[in-house]
Structure 1
């Protein structure tokens, strides 16, 4: 994919996220990997109003080489790309229901969201929860890198999800599945639930 096309795809995805109310204000960021680096949305920019020319162009180490100043959370993307060679796109949002789940008190070692549905297992898999760090804290990079080796979908405590995919659409579909399952979890709060068993989850990984 050439860079001009990649810039257009990022802008189109930003508009889709904004229209679907998965992002608001200037929250969230999107990136696409290129052969010799990657593109990421600029800082303090509404994803629903992106300009292809303003998209930040970074080299493989995360250094800005063209475009506007990148998102202050660009290091999250670098951390994931460093350990996931299969990742071609990353979406980070502050989507409401996922953030709500990220603010809950989860017992140590327990997943933030149980395997409630088959499609959650197939699109999201096992969701990793990363402890809270203030926005822009570089310690978050190490925490994300550590879990991204095994997890394409990461939930930042009191913050929001970071989703890697083989393309923007794959990342979007995983994000939407996570957001809807987070909504289900909140709707079911206080009710007895019956998550999928370990055997049922294992069966789904073969599909």
Structure 2
């Protein structure tokens, strides 16, 4: 399956799972050579045409420049920032209802916007910083991701939604589902004082076992 076909499959699955509605959100795949195939501006992710996608290339500075295809999303700077961190792979940005809800709440800690109530969150996500609000499409969102002094594979964007990186399309689907479920759980338990997050040691152990970052970055003095 081509990269374009894989991107279309990702979009269809996100819509089928109720994680993207209308023309909200955008997705992309970066190949090992630096070419990026992305969903065009204002498109339904469930109806992507592999022949009508946006094709971009990575510049020496790590920015993304369009080279062909339909007009790219205004969120390209955010995708570029994720690829600067991780290299080739998949970036998903959605405005899923539960992610937006959670992004409007005060962060649980500086390194995790929501409490880790279930083990699967630590196993698939780990650290989840809350990126300060900037309007959709603002290049500053990419700059804020660059500046985050923290290891993470996913983040909530304040009043906006989520963004995450994964190595493959299937991993991206699984991570998006798990993050949306974790956000839904966090919002539903926010009004229950007795609700308890997992113990820090348990979360750290689960995250480490599954190759996910957890906790603040430790810098040498």
TM above 0.5, yes or no, is yes
How many pairs align?
203
Q: CA RMSD in A?
A: 1.7
Gap runs ≥5 in structure 2: 211-221
Instruction: Answer yes or no: is 1:81 the counterpart of 2:83.
Output: yes
Instruction: Work out the CA distance in 1 between the residues paired with 2:51 and 2:201.
Output: 49
Measured against aligned partners, the alpha-carbon deviations of 1:16-73 in whole angstroms (never above 9, x if no partner) come to 1111110011111111111232111100111111111111110113111111110110
Alignment TM-score, normalising by the size of structure 2: 0.87
Distance 1:115 1:80, change over 3 A: same
Q: Name the counterpart of 2:74.
A: 72
Instruction: Work out the CA distance in 2 between the residues paired with 1:54 and 1:128.
Output: 34
Instruction: Answer yes or no: is 1:21 the counterpart of 2:18.
Output: yes
Instruction: Answer yes or no: is 1:50 the counterpart of 2:48.
Output: yes
SS of corresponding position for 1:57: strand
Instruction: Work out the CA distance in 2 between the residues paired with 1:5 and 1:103.
Output: 37
Q: Name the counterpart of 1:7.
A: 4
Distance 1:148 1:164, change over 3 A: farther
Instruction: Work out the CA distance in 2 between the residues paired with 1:99 and 1:172.
Output: 18
Gap runs ≥5 in structure 1: none
Alignment TM-score, normalising by the size of structure 1: 0.92
Distance 1:129 1:119, change over 3 A: same
8 Å contact kept, 1:83–1:148: no
